[in-house]
Amino acid sequence: MRLLEGRTAIVTGSSNGIGNAICDVFAANGASVIGIDAVEGGGEAKTYIADVSNTSECERVWEQISSSYDHIDVLVNCAGITRDAMTRKMTEEQFDQVVAVNLKGVWNLTRLIGPAMQDCGAGSIINISSVVGVYGNIGQSNYAATKAGVIGMTKSWAKEFALKGGGVRVNAVAPGYTMTNMMSTVPEKLLERFRGQTMLGRLAEPEEIANAVLFLASDLSSYVTGEVLHVDGGMRL
Ligand SMILES: NC(=O)c1ccc[n+]([C@@H]2O[C@H](COP(=O)([O-])OP(=O)(O)OC[C@H]3O[C@@H](n4cnc5c(N)ncnc54)[C@H](O)[C@@H]3O)[C@@H](O)[C@H]2O)c1
């Protein structure tokens, strides 16, 4: 069964890692996939280049997309960055960059696409949070703040976009540590510790996060909204 047959989906952060895996899984399930990323990527999505933290770039890209597609069924806000440092050493720039991409970037596109879905009477929005937004992490106070903020926005939008029969579902996925470029600078000793913190004794593959996103994007989750789905191998930080 192809779960997204005939649906159109936008995925940010589509050129690498988890976003790229989401595009592939969506395409394999029959969706037309539109990617938005700061850099070109291979894979299944037609990619629009934009910086999600830049409000006017997002408006420009949305104008282009909405003139080519009747409606959007699924939005996945996946683009994200880290700028890790202990708080005593963290610069204002490190704090601001992470807030701009991970928090404002999610708002920038959802403020355009959420209301458009509401006007159509249906849609599914999935925001990629993190275990770090739920449990916190040493050296990631900026990142944790944005990922907790994403959960707050998710719950607010689940209420807001359902108003007047809006029919839009909004959920978050909180992945555990997943083998992507984002993890490439983490020392092996720390990766080993992360593995040990999971009940399954290993890190996630991007496809395992993508499959959870597929569930929330599809009608299999038709009565699920305002939720945070933890996909972390039973991790407890
Ligand atoms: N990898 C993990 O362990 C992990 C764990 C939990 C949550 N996450 C979250 O999952 C999401 C994807 O992470 P990943 O591991 O695949 O990272 P990644 O670095 O492999 O990919 C991130 C993608 O986002 C794009 N991007 C970054 N800044 C952008 C911007 N300003 N505008 C447009 N695109 C931009 C990058 O170009 C890249 O293609 C992020 O939101 C991340 O916080 C990752």
143 part of the active site? yes
In the chain, what percentage of residues exceed pLDDT 70?
A: 100
What is the token pair recorded at 132?
């770090």
pLDDT exceeding 90 applies to what percent of the chain? 94
Task: Write down the pLDDT at residue 166.
Answer: 82
Mean pLDDT of 214-221: 98
For 227, the token pair is 């939720």
11 lines ligand 1 (CB under 6 A): no
Indicate whether 79 pLDDT > 90: yes
What confidence tier does 16 reach under pLDDT thresholds 50, 70, 90? Answer: very high
Give the tens place of pLDDT for each residue, 95-110.
999 999 999 999 999 9
The pLDDT value given to residue 174: 98
Tokens for 27, please give them. 């395409």
Ligand 1 touching residue 180 (CB < 6 A)? yes
Cα 182 to ligand 1 centroid, rounded to whole Å: 7
Q: For residue 116, how far is its CA from the centre of ligand 1 (angstroms)?
A: 25
- Ligand 1 atom with minimal separation from the 204 CA: 3
Among 47, 81, 194, residue to substitute to test ligand 1 (most atoms within 8 Å of Cβ): 81
Each residue of 159-203: pLDDT tens digit? Answer: 999 998 889 999 999 999 999 999 988 899 999 999 999 999 999
103-137 per-position pLDDT tens digit: 999 999 999 999 999 999 999 999 999 999 999 99
d(Cα 71, Cα 32) in Å, to the nearest integer? 12
Q: What is the mean pLDDT of residues 77-94?
A: 98
Block residue for tokens 């699924």: 74
| pLDDT above 80: residue 22 | yes
Mutation probe of ligand 1 site: the residue of 16, 60, 203 with most atoms within 8 A of C-beta? 16
Closest residue by Cα to atom 36, ligand 1, is 13
Confidence of residue 207 (pLDDT cuts 50, 70, 90): very high
pLDDT-derived band at 237, boundaries 50, 70, 90:
low
Query: Is 208 exposed, middle or buried (CB count within 10 Å of its CB: 0-12, 13-18, 19+)?
Result: middle
pLDDT band at residue 43 under the 50/70/90 scheme: confident
Q: Which atom of ligand 1 is nearest to the CA of 53?
A: 31
What is the set of domains in the chain, with CATH numbers? 8-227 (3.40.50.720)
The DSSP bridge partners found for residue 74 are 9, 124
Does residue 81's CB lie within 6 angstroms of at least one atom of ligand 1?
yes
Query: Which ligand 1 atom sits closest to the C-alpha of 41?
Result: 39
